[in-house]
Chains A and B, each alone.
Chain A
Amino acid sequence: EAGVAQSPRYKIIEKRQSVAFWCNPISGHATLYWYQQILGQGPKLLIQFQNNGVVDDSQLPKDRFSAERLKGVDSTLKIQPAKLEDSAVYLCASSSSGGNEKLFFGSGTQLSVL
């Protein structure tokens, strides 16, 4: 079974530039999550989708971050404009349903903002 696919693996940008990350969840998984993991910290939920609807985006900095999952399958997370403090690993995860189910993570995108 294919796992959660993410790209790119690494990204280096300058502050105020924009960047986008892509995620394709495990086939058939209805719930998709984007987490931000800053070095030395645990993953912090940015946004959760159930199919193509947003379940929770309370911790998403909406002035600069946006995410979509238009067809209920793959998803894109965008940052515009990036700040130095956005340097982190962005992890996508999926589960067959939401909340109480175990998550399967992709390998993440390591973002460095200079």
Chain B
Amino acid sequence: RKEVEQDPGPFNVPEGATVAFNCTYSNSASQSFFWYRQDCRKEPKLLMSVYSSGNEDGRFTAQLNRASQYISLLIRDSKLSDSATYLCSFGSARQLTFGSGTQLTVLP
């Protein structure tokens, strides 16, 4: 089983749609969880951390399911500017491991 598995997409959704991504991890010792956003030809930037109780930041909601070992990202009311690749990331005591990313395109 891969350390991190992400659906590569692409996800093509119309403006205003709700879209969700999942990301599974195999290392049960993972302690920290993040979603990063990466625009084309740019560096990854932290979108949000993922907390055990779930957390929300505006139109973005992140959830953690430790029992099934996955995290999710929900984007409501999609904007054109949300078009990017979304990378999940898992941290153990010493390092962060990244998924291969899910490509999202929001269409007008």
Using CB atoms, name the residue of chain A closest to B6. Answer: A42
Query: How far, in whole Å, are A103 and B37 apart by their CA atoms in the complex?
Result: 12
Q: Mark B1-14, 1 if CB is under 8 A from A, else 0.
A: 00010101000000
Q: Mark A18-39, 1 if CB is under 8 A from B, else 0.
A: 0000000000000001010000
Q: Among the listed A42, A101, A104, A107, which residue makes an inter-chain contact with B98, where contact means beta carbons less than 8 Å apart?
A: A42
Size category of the A interface is 20 to 34
- Within 8 Å CB of B4, what residues of A? 42
Most buried by B among A45, A98, A100, A108: A100
Query: How far, in whole Å, are A55 and B96 apart by their CA atoms in the complex?
Result: 12
Query: How far, in whole Å, are A43 and B34 apart by their CA atoms in the complex?
Result: 14
Q: Does B57 contact A (CB under 8 A)?
A: no
- Within 8 Å CB of B8, what residues of A? 40
Q: Among the listed A40, A45, A108, which residue makes an inter-chain contact with B96, where contact means beta carbons less than 8 Å apart?
A: A45
The answer to whether B100 and A48 have CB atoms under 8 Å apart is: no
Using CB atoms, name the residue of chain A closest to B45. Answer: A105
Q: Does A91 contact B (CB under 8 A)?
A: yes
Query: How far, in whole Å, are A41 and B34 apart by their CA atoms in the complex?
Result: 17
Q: Mark A98-114, 1 if CB is under 8 A from B, else 0.
A: 11111111111000000
Query: How far, in whole Å, are A104 and B36 apart by their CA atoms in the complex?
Result: 10
Q: Does A14 contact B (CB under 8 A)?
A: no
Q: Among the listed B43, B87, B93, which residue makes an inter-chain contact with A100, where contact means beta carbons less than 8 Å apart?
A: B93
In the complex, how many angstroms separate the beta carbon of B45 from the nearest chain A beta carbon? 7
Query: How far, in whole Å, are A52 and B44 apart by their CA atoms in the complex?
Result: 24
The answer to whether A42 and B96 have CB atoms under 8 Å apart is: no
Query: How far, in whole Å, are A6 and B22 apart by their CA atoms in the complex?
Result: 32
The answer to whether A40 and B100 have CB atoms under 8 Å apart is: yes
The answer to whether B100 and A100 have CB atoms under 8 Å apart is: no
The answer to whether A108 and B91 have CB atoms under 8 Å apart is: no
Please give the residue numbers on chain B whose beta carbons come within 8 Å of chain A beta carbons, in ascending order: 4, 6, 8, 31-32, 34, 42-46, 49, 87, 91-101
Please give the residue numbers on chain A whose beta carbons come within 8 Å of chain B beta carbons, in ascending order: 33, 35, 40-45, 48, 55-56, 91, 98-108
